[in-house]
Amino acid sequence: MTQLFGGRLRRGLLVLVLVVATVIAMLWGLQRRLIYFPDATRVPPATDVIPGAREVTLNTSDGLELGAWFVPADPANATGMVVLLAPGNGGDRVGRARLAERLSRRGLAVLLMDYRGYGGNPGSPSEGGLAADADAAAQTLRDLGYRAQRTIYFGESLGSGVVAALQARHPAAGLVLRSPFTDLADVGAYHYPWLPVRALLRDRFPVAGLIAASDVPVTVIYGQHDSVVPSALSARVADHAPFLAERLVIPEADHNDPVMFGSPVADAVERLAHSVG
């Protein structure tokens, strides 16, 4: 009887190990589908969405050609500064067009990028891939005549990880982080507390650590009731910034509420631009 029970126990443990191993393998292989939500639909022409905008192409170091839009500053208010706008993990540049227009009216030119796999662009997103895309965007701005001292990086949510890493490679005049997280593992652990997120995660985006080591002035913006990136994580990013220009907490706002793309955000970017320009 003891032998029979022991054999069943061993078989049961083996089945359990196989099930756990299978789940971990699936999570390892499919995790990027839980991080990136690209809209692969080809976007309309820039001028159909933003009057005066034009198409530009970002040429990445690994041979991709990515579509992006350049939105000139309103000539009546032009500051000579430009904003590189790195979006979050969903949608495409059309969804950020109104924010780009608001920045343009405030005298700031805007490069509105889409990552690989987004907005009809080729490729599949990953942390390394998005870094190459951001490098290509920064190079495009240099080609357009914008020096680093006249450039502000704006990162929305996942884009905060993209621009935090970008400023470590190519410092800019200022940095705006909208709904940033300390690192991606903290967000994953919040939403999936029963999973070994920190052990499995391939893409890390260590925002807080990068900001702590930076001497670039940074503005941190987040909603008071963010259900995607907990507001406490954004607050910790601001706490880590040695050169915090502004901490803007938008009352009652959730992650993707219209106000998070609206005038309060554009006003904060304008304030940073005036302080560093």
Is 19 a residue whose pLDDT tops 50? no
For residue 8, the model assigns a pLDDT of 56
Q: Which alpha helices (H) appear in the chain, and where do they start and end? A: 2-35, 46-49, 97-105, 127-143, 158-169, 184-191, 197-200, 207-212, 231-240, 263-276
pLDDT for residue 64 is more than 60: yes
Q: 178 with 152: CB under 8 angstroms? A: no
Mean pLDDT along residues 255-277: 96
Q: What percent of the chain has pLDDT over 90?
A: 79
pLDDT over threshold 60, residue 24: no
Q: What angle do CA 157, 162, 266 make, to 5 degrees?
A: 50
Give the pLDDT mean for 250-259.
Answer: 97
CB 102 within 8 A of CB 85: no
Joined tokens for residue 83: 């904003």
- Between these two residues, 155 and 202, which has the higher pLDDT value? 155
Instruction: Decide if pLDDT at 16 tops 50.
Output: no
Alpha-carbon dihedral sign for residues 259, 260, 266, 268: positive
Classify the C-alpha dihedral 172-177-181-185 as positive or negative: negative
Looking at residue 28, its pLDDT comes to 47
**Which range, of 13-27, 40-54, 76-90, 95-109, averages the lowest pLDDT?**
13-27
Q: What is the pLDDT of residue 195?
A: 77
pTM greater than 0.85: yes
What would the mean pLDDT of 91-110 be, rounded to a whole number? 97
